[in-house]
Structure 1
């Protein structure tokens, strides 16, 4: 957000963050034991993404406290190290005690009474252009860069009168809380799906006895076979296309993560058939199952269109007696197995033979179809909430920009 590009109302102030907000410091002579022998501690992994407040902490005995950053209840903790800062890790402390400690990799801040609102600052720092500008000023070696308190404090902020700050924060909080509700439902349905996969892949649907196999218990009538014994593999070409000006999707793992099906509107680059031919790429037919084979295992999807994949992915073409969606879910379920057989250099990976060696438990096609139907009920519910969450996220991004730049004023909105 380049402040000079916007016309702000005359009653808004323009100044440095440090001129309107305070960095929290530990008071002299504070007795850390006033609340007992333990103190709430926030490690980096407990500072959330996509949530306003954080109440979960790790109790730490005072004798083991060592280093840390002093924070107070109501403070905004901003992660200062890469990639946590760039990813938007920050939260407002919401605990029952009046102070706590956190990782040294956060900067704690708060609004000033009668002048500025902590929650308003929380949202201002989420503006993608603000965060990008600050990320560009981080210092240190690659992979360990940090945002300094000075750089953060020197960032300009357009600040409306305190009542308007609070109204803007309230509007954005309302949308953010709705996003968080959808995220909780998505997480719940995801966990239910994992439980259902375990039950159906070990017990089936017909209440038949189980047998012990190399992959654990499975229904007695099911076969355990390497996926390469029943599917044809397609590995990507070694050469990356040089030109992306066509209409055939060229996909990587991030493009398919979170998808059940790959459709024509999938994110990703596009190549032409001529470029595909010249680079030696291979077309993947529809109804194939795509799985990740580098780094993040267990990512898989069924393609409803012809696509091209890069070296991060592997494709299986299913025979008539194998439901592609059943295989897709079996491959997700076999993620722990893939992790045990992966070769590891800088990142774990599976070569073609190891991709084909992954064992799957296979019933007849009718039972496969019935299992898939059970999965699709949960998948449909999850996808509905993902779609709702996306709508809310789009609304949030729009409101964040419009309200922080005064293009839309709070009196024009009703929440």
Structure 2
């Protein structure tokens, strides 16, 4: 951040800024393309555009679609006019065509520099207006006829250069951080695949020294939870944290010490439930299969979990990462018509590959280091994006 260009936002002079209709700021490119009769190789649907990003990182091919589409050129901005609240507006870097549920917009260089225009498109000033003028309830969509007459305040050309320099410099920082994050993810995956084994028949003879095959019930006490009656107020609002899958899916850490709801001792007794001590692995085995936490405080869970209290022969962090690694295999054991659920009996008898204790700790420590690094980089990216959003919205 230290090398970002200087910009005095506190004293940003807007006295010479002018208001323009949107059709003065941009040109709406309406050139049509037939996917079945084109030499263009790149197709961009709304699903290929990331929310709140000016970068287009994915695309499809003409074989993916039928019907008339819109032509775009390098430097054009593809803006998702359907469900504008998703804030999809990305800069094209190639020739191609896109969904007719988008607008292809080209900055008018007499009014706004093409390097500033993508950031303007992601300002609250523009996006909130876009949402306000959308029509339709199930899939609100913007009509060009309405959008083109909207008025927006635009900086003078002299100020635009200094503004987009700092925004692109900050964008470069974010891109570098995101690239670092991607490389860490790849490195972590490579390491995990090299040290965590999935059980296959006959694997025993191929395992390194110190590794053995065990059933999950051999290394942990496995049980589940349940839900006290909602009609009895004496069962709720107590001192015992009570975990639901929602608590876990919204958690971005391995650990969890708080839950949305709490039950009483009577509530616990009413369902023959138990309290899981700190350090247990609470694993979602119903509907949202694979989400898991290691609890920092004693807590009970609902019936959506299969819970593990580790025996002395297994490191709980190692088992946590192993369960994540074998979730696809466990999911294949799931059944149910309304939602998938893995039977506890199937989990108990499931065979896994376990190394000696010193290796468990070594492996778990390394993966935790990866997790902490990922968490740190994500925080940096979050702060950088927050700063970028703040700058864009302060300017526009």
- Common topology (TM > 0.5): yes
| 3-state SS of paired residue (1:335) | helix
Counterpart in 2 of 1:260?
254
Aligned pair count? 377
C-alpha RMSD of matched pairs (Å): 4.4
Q: How does 1:288-303 map to 2 (within 5 A)?
A: 288-303=280-295
Contact 2:225 2:306 in 1 (8 A): yes
1:382-401 mapped onto 2 (5 Å cutoff):
382-401=374-393
1:10-409 to structure 2, matched below 5 A, reads 10-26=15-31, 37-49=39-51, 51-54=53-56, 57-58=59-60, 60=62, 66-82=67-83, 85-95=84-94, 99-127=95-123, 131=127, 134-135=130-131, 138-140=134-136, 142=138, 144-150=139-145, 152-153=147-148, 156-202=151-197, 212-213=201-202, 218-219=207-208, 221-226=211-216, 230-237=220-227, 252-256=247-251, 258-262=252-256, 270-271=260-261, 277=267, 284-306=276-298, 314-343=306-335, 345=337, 348-350=340-342, 352-353=344-345, 359-404=351-396
Q: Deviations over 1:319-345 (max 9, x none)?
A: 332212111111111132134233365
Q: 1:386 to 1:249 in 2, by over 3 A?
A: farther
TM-score for both structures, normalised by structure 1: 0.72
Return the alpha-carbon distance in structure 2 between the equivalents of residues 167 and 245 of structure 1: 58
Answer yes or no: is the 8 Å Cα contact 2:40–2:97 preserved in 1: no
Judging changes above 3 Å, is the alpha-carbon distance between structure 1 residues 14 and 350 closer, same or farther for their aligned structure 2 residues? farther
- 1:211–1:218 Cα contact (<8 Å) kept: no
Partners of 2:283 and 2:194 in 1: how far apart?
22
Cα gap change, 1:381 to 1:318, in 2 (>3 Å): same
Q: CA deviation at 1:271?
A: 4.1
TM-score relative to the length of structure 2 = 0.75
3-state SS of the aligned residue for 1:10?
Answer: coil
Post-superposition Cα deviations, 1:342-388, rounded to whole Å, max 9, x if no partner, equal: 33656645465555565432233222112212323333332332232
Deviation at 1:92, TM superposition (A): 0.1
Alpha-carbon separation, structure 2, partners of 1:400 and 1:310? 44
SS at match of 1:328: helix
Mapped to 2, the partners of 1:178 and 1:276 lie a distance apart of 54
1:201-236 Cα offsets, whole Å, 9 max, x none, are: 239xxxxxx984589975574123135972333425
In the aligned structure 1, how far is the partner of 2:169 from the partner of 2:122? 15
Give unmatched runs, 5+ long, in structure 2: 1-11
Q: Are the aligned partners of 1:201 and 1:218 in contact in 2 as well (CA < 8 Å)?
A: no
**Could you list the runs of 5+ residues in structure 1 that have no partner in the other structure?**
1-6, 204-209, 405-415
Bigger mean CA deviation after superposition, 38-47 or 333-342:
38-47
